Amino acid sequence: MANLILASSSLRRQQLLQQLGLQFDVVCPDIDESQQEHESVSRYVERLAQEKAKVILTKFPDAVILTADTSLGLDGKIIGKPESKTHAFEIWKALSGRQHDVFSGICVATATDFFSEVVQTRVEFQHLTQTDMENYWATGEPVGKAGAYAIQGIAAQFIPRIEGSYSNVVGLPLYETVQLLKRVKVIGEEQWL
């Protein structure tokens, strides 16, 4: 098996990749994650995934590098992680009773191959009351989460439906990730027989 490196500090991504039964090392890339002027959410996540892959590939040229970046998009704008309780409430008021999109850019790179893809999932949020928001904030779960929620946690109760990949909303679209890893022979067809 190729030496696989997951270039992410996200525990959720690590757990999702472990579901596939793959062995991998974790190396955290350090890049500027500022959004460029007029950059769409889709382009932003793909560019960050590609930049992370390039940085790690220069340090480990013989490895297979897997990177990802996930952001929420609402009305064409990126919804990031809450900076405070007040900010989390602003985010939830914007998401409340509406649909938003979760975009993940994923990239698999080797010394000879470089593949990337963007996966989009539509998420519907119920209308949140002030009490819902107070109670959810008190759990601590929203801290450090894009959109101030975790679909795999307590917030699942606020989400009546999604269209697309569930694992994408958690942070790593597994189907698409496997397809890219097959292209660089980290996963072979016979592995699933």
Catalytic residue among 69, 75, 101, 113: 69
Of 43, 46, 53, nearest to 8 (Cα)?
53
Tokens 């919804």, residue located: 79
Q: Residue 102's closest CA among 54, 151, 60, 138?
A: 151
* CB atoms near residue 145 (< 10 Å): 20
Enter the tokens of residue 141: 């779960």
Residue that the structure tokens 């601590």 belong to: 140
Measured distance CA(108)–CA(4) in Å, rounded = 10
Task: Please spell the DSSP secondary structure of 167-188, one letter per residue.
Answer: HHHHT--HHHHHHHHHHTTSS-
Q: Is 132 a catalytic residue?
A: no
Give all strands (DSSP E) within 96-170, no chain letters: 99-109, 114-124, 161-163
Catalytic residues: 69
